[in-house]
Chains A and B, each alone.
Chain A
Amino acid sequence: GENVEQHPSTLSVQEGDSAVIKCTYSDSASNYFPWYKQELGKRPQLIIDIRSNVGEKKDQRIAVTLNKTAKHFSLHITETQPEDSAVYFCAAAGGGGADGLTFGKGTHLIIQP
């Protein structure tokens, strides 16, 4: 089955700086790679996703890059703000997003004021 590795487990950055979280996956059949932000006791909130026919996607301060050959994808957050503090999960799935998701272990992002 699919295996998703996520690093780092904790990331502390100064407000206004950039944050990068990296994930690798093992199953070449995976073709959908979402990123979620989760606050304590809440459901995961989709912040951005990318499909395997695209190498990069950007939405305001958030961007995701995908390297299919190396089987890794990364989340980039620029101009970080205190409200960006949360746990972030990467995930991978096949079926263009119709299949069940395999999640990374999560990154606790801390924005230092």
Chain B
Amino acid sequence: GAVVSQHPSRVICKSGTSVKIECRSLDFQATTMFWYRQFPKQSLMLMATSNEGSKATYEQGVEKDKFLINHASLTLSTLTVTSAHPEDSSFYICSAPSIGISYEQYFGPGTRLTVT
């Protein structure tokens, strides 16, 4: 199956700083990627849709100026959490749809962000 990677797998940052998370499709091209957030013992929540070559679209309630998304190539999307606060501590997971016989979402391994 298709492979999606994320980097870093874990990151600790201080409150007020910014942190960048990368999502790569390793063996397929993805014009669209998705970013999800998952708090402990909760479900995954779609944050935004990353579109190659155009602006990301954000779900209701997600601050676009705080969660900057860039999709500069067909294999890379980045999520930058700006001016991080402890409440931003979460598990961030990306996914990309790959076309086989039909679409299937392939998830990255996730990034555990801890803001101190």
CB distance B44 to A89 under 8 Å? yes
CB distance A106 to B34 under 8 Å? no
Interface size class of B (residues with CB under 8 A): 20 to 34
Q: Which of B13-21, B63-71, B78-86, B102-110 contacts A (4 or more CB under 8 A)?
A: B102-110
- Considering the chains assembled together, what is the distance between the CA atoms of A34 and B107 in angstroms? 13
The yes or no answer to B54 lying at the interface (CB within 8 A) is: no
CB distance A43 to B46 under 8 Å? no
The yes or no answer to B49 lying at the interface (CB within 8 A) is: yes
CB distance A102 to B46 under 8 Å? yes
Shortest CB distance B56–A (Å): 11
> B45 to chain A: which residues have CB within 8 Å?
103
In the complex, per-residue mask of B95-107: 1 if CB is within 8 Å of any chain A CB, else 0: 1010000111101
Q: Which of A13-21, A58-66, A70-78, A91-99 contacts B (4 or more CB under 8 A)?
A: A91-99
Shortest CB distance A34–B (Å): 7
> Interface on chain B toward A: helix, strand, loop, or mixed SS?
strand
> B7 to chain A: which residues have CB within 8 Å?
none
> A34 to chain B: which residues have CB within 8 Å?
104-105
Interface residues of A in 29-54 (CB under 8 A from B): 32, 34, 41-44, 46, 49, 51
> B46 to chain A: which residues have CB within 8 Å?
100-103
CB distance A44 to B44 under 8 Å? yes
> A104 to chain B: which residues have CB within 8 Å?
43
Given A41-B91, A49-B104, A97-B102, 20 more contacts at CB 8 Å? A34-B104, A42-B109, A42-B110, A43-B107, A44-B44, A44-B107, A46-B104, A46-B105, A96-B102, A97-B103, A97-B104, A100-B34, A100-B46, A100-B59, A101-B34, A101-B46, A102-B46, A103-B46, A104-B43, A105-B43
Q: Which residues of A contact B (CB under 8 A)?
A: 1, 32, 34, 41-44, 46, 49, 51, 89, 93, 95-98, 100-106
Q: Which residues of B contact A (CB under 8 A)?
A: 32, 34, 36, 42-46, 49, 59-60, 91, 93, 95, 97, 102-105, 107-110, 112
